[in-house]
Amino acid sequence: MQLVIRGLSKTYKGGVRALKDVNLTLSNGMFGLLGPNGAGKSSLMRTIATLQEADEGTIFLDGLDVLHNKTEVRKLLGYLPQEFGVYPRISAEQMLDHVARLKGVQQAGERKELVGELLNNVNLYKDRKKKLGTFSGGMKQRWGIAQALIGQPKLIIVDEPTAGLDPAERNRFYNLLSHLGENTIVILSTHIVEDVSTLCSRFAIICQGEVLYSGQPEQAMEEMRGRIYSKMIPKEDIIRYQSSYPILSTQLKAGELYIRVLSDSDPSDHFSPAEPNLEDIYFSHISQKMDVNTL
């Protein structure tokens, strides 16, 4: 299975250009999509999910024209948007059964088995008779995950899927997605860089509608090796360091400020070499984009 995106662009009313000539090729496995708020992540996923039109470009899923065969694509798609509504007076079990029927699971016995399995996978089986309107935010999110997995989708799109989940639920969900990714394309949009680093075989950084980087996390970090340095400084000195060094990120720990800088050579001044991580790659590309746009 392969998803091929070429020259995809989208401009909203008012002149806001959400996507600018996006080119990506995705295969089976988990693909991470990183970017700040308003970067274009949701616009890209909504376009792939056939929920909005593109102005230019093409999307093909194993040769199927996504932009012109929406009904066929939806049969192969599992989608969990960042925000979604539910019918508050219907139980989780009943609503999931209804979604399964809409996705073509016609046999009642098959639906019952499927619904039970999915609710168990997202740790909601004991709450299956409860009305969706009584669910907490985390429970609602887990129900949304279950509905996205109905019909053995070939393409799964999840937008900030772990919002409202506790650490155990989050780990459970990602284990489920990792298992599904063995035979499915899973697009994971998240602001949690660590999740992409540990879960995704490939990723892309998007900012202001443009793809700034696409590749493998390990390769990206290897390319940055020997160029990251760190130092602990007094908080009141941050402005001086910002004016002298290309600071990628700062972190306050126990009242001390740790800074990480990007440099092709040792900046001296008591900086220490540091192992690169995916946050370094993310911040380096985002900062370059912001710098270009402020010139």
Average pLDDT over residues 195-199: 83
Which H or E run contains 267? Answer: none
* Chain centroid offset of residue 12 CA: 22
What's the Rg (C-alpha) of the chain? 22
Confidence (pLDDT) at 60: 96
pTM, rounded to two decimals: 0.84
Determine whether domain 2-215 maps to CATH 3.30.930.10.
no
Residues 190, 162 contacting (CB under 8 angstroms): yes
Residue pair 24/32 in contact (Cβ under 8 Å)? The answer is no
Are the C-beta atoms of 261 and 245 separated by less than 8 Å?
yes
Q: Where are the domains of the chain?
A: 2-215, 222-294
pLDDT in tens, 16-59: 899 999 999 999 999 999 988 888 898 999 999 999 999 999 99
Average confidence score pLDDT of the chain: 88
